Amino acid sequence: DSGVTQTPKHLITATGQRVTLRCSPRSGDLSVYWYQQSLDQGLQFLIQYYNGEERAKGNILERFSAQQFPDLHSELNLSSLELGDSALYFCASRNSDYVGYTFGSGTRLTVV
């Protein structure tokens, strides 16, 4: 157990729908990062939050949004879903006291 918890583990939904993915970071970690892993595109950085504030933005679509709450958990909202949004979505957290990023086990999203 890495200490980073992602729910749900699997999600199947229809095109056009909206879903919310949840991430609880390691205890004490202020930074949360979201990534999308598709078969042919490696690990794409989507967005970073630090203590509730957006810090960096990557290749995140306008249909996607995220936020980090006062208890430091984060949610990634995906709307108007398309078949191409099917992927593994990972959350990672980090604390300046240690080296590296701690990953959750991911949410597998399937859009049908």
Partner 1 sequence: GEDVEQSLFLSVREGDSSVINCTYTDSSSTYLYWYKQEPGAGLQLLTYIFSNMDMKQDQRLTVLLNKKDKHLSLRIADTQTGDSAIYFCAVSYIFGTGTRLKVLA
Residues binding partner 1 (CB under 8 A): 2, 4, 33, 35, 41-43, 45, 48, 56, 58, 90, 92, 94, 99-106
Spatial distance between the Cα atoms of 82 and 79, rounded to a whole number of angstroms: 9
CA 24 to chain centre: 10
CB of 21 to partner 1, least distance (A): 14
Nearer to partner 1, 25 or 104 (CB): 104
Do residues 10 and 18 lie in contact, with contact meaning Cβ atoms separated by under 8 Å? Answer: no
Residue 44 or 79 with smaller CB distance to partner 1: 44
Q: Give min distance, CB of 105 to partner 1, in A.
A: 5
Strands (E), the chain: 5-7, 10-13, 19-24, 31-37, 43-50, 53-57, 64-68, 74-78, 87-94, 102-103, 107-111
Residue 31 or 111 having the CB closest to partner 1: 31
**Toward partner 1, which CB reaches closer, 72 or 94?**
94
CB of 84 to partner 1, least distance (A): 18
